[in-house]
Amino acid sequence: MTEKKVESLKGKLIVSCQALLHEPLHSSFIMGRMALAAKEGGAYGIRANTKEDIKEIKETVNLPIIGIVKRDYADSKVYITPTMKEVDELMEVRPEIIALDATGAIRPQGVTLDEFFREVKGKYPDQLWMADCSTVEEALHADELGFDFIGTTMVGYTEQSIHDRIEADDFRILREIIEKAEHKVIAEGNINTPQKAKRVIELGAYSVVVGSAITRPQLITKTFADVLA
């Protein structure tokens, strides 16, 4: 069943339904309704943060979910599903895919990505995993490690990619990853127009994730307000 649901994502839109504690829409109930709105609009999958939101979303829509837990630790820059604690929380609600930070940053307590991925794969061998990467090199390393999905989620958000943009030079970074990686590549990060979403699928991305441009009304509003300022 999980395999069939994930196969339905091919060539389709995944909508990221997230609202952090400080944001106006922070509420599992609201994220559940946001997921329903996304489904009615044509989304084939949802990306969501925390077991509480995922539980609510699962009760609202029957779509495959990419699950994460965002949590800050004082000794690490990694905040997307950084430790086994977050993985265990997600496994309580069993999203079809769990995404992990797969950048070069060291995880809490000095754990490397290689060590952590071996640990989670050993504990949950049947789970599907997505690598959130910021560079071609990180993506190809995650591909070698055996992640089921390689994502461009972190492009532009790390020190090593701060000057990069996912859409630059007709998605050069994405194209190189697609060309060289063996596993499925999911385009994510600053894909904020329908035209960009269509283009990444044309280039060979398995799926495309769109978040803020759909589900963060305060940011959408700001794009309109700024041109009138």
Asked if residues 197 and 167 have their Cβ atoms less than 8 Å apart, the reply is no
d(CA 115, CA 112): 5
Helix (H, G, I), strand (E, B) or coil at 74: coil
Q: No. of H helices and E strands in the chain? A: 10, 8
pLDDT computed for residue 175 by the predictor:
98
**pLDDT above 90: residue 2:** no
User: What are the residues facing 150 on neighbouring strands?
Assistant: 131, 185
pLDDT computed for residue 5 by the predictor:
87
Helix (H, G, I), strand (E, B) or coil at 166: coil
Which whole number is the average pLDDT over 73-94?
Answer: 98
d(CA 76, CA 211): 25
**pLDDT above 90: residue 4:** no
pLDDT computed for residue 28 by the predictor:
98
Query: What pLDDT, in 10s, does the model give residues 140-168?
Result: 999 999 999 999 999 999 999 999 999 99
Confidence class for position 95, pLDDT limits 50, 70, 90: very high
Tokens 């993985």 identify what position? 87
Which whole number is the average pLDDT over 203-209?
Answer: 98
- % pLDDT > 70, the chain: 100
Name residues whose C-beta falls within 8 Å of residue 171's C-beta, 6 or more positions apart in sequence.
187, 199, 200, 203
Half-sphere CA count of 218, side-chain side, radius 13 A: 8
Where in the chain are the domains?
2-228
Total count of residues recorded for the chain: 229
Which whole number is the average pLDDT over 184-204?
Answer: 98
**pTM for the predicted model, two decimal places:** 0.97
Task: For residue 20, count other CB atoms closer than 10 A to its CB.
Answer: 11
Confidence class for position 1, pLDDT limits 50, 70, 90: low
Tell me yes or no: is domain 2-228 CATH 3.30.70.1450.
no
Q: Which two three-digit tokens encode residue 185?
A: 């590549």
Q: Please, what is the average pLDDT of the chain?
A: 97
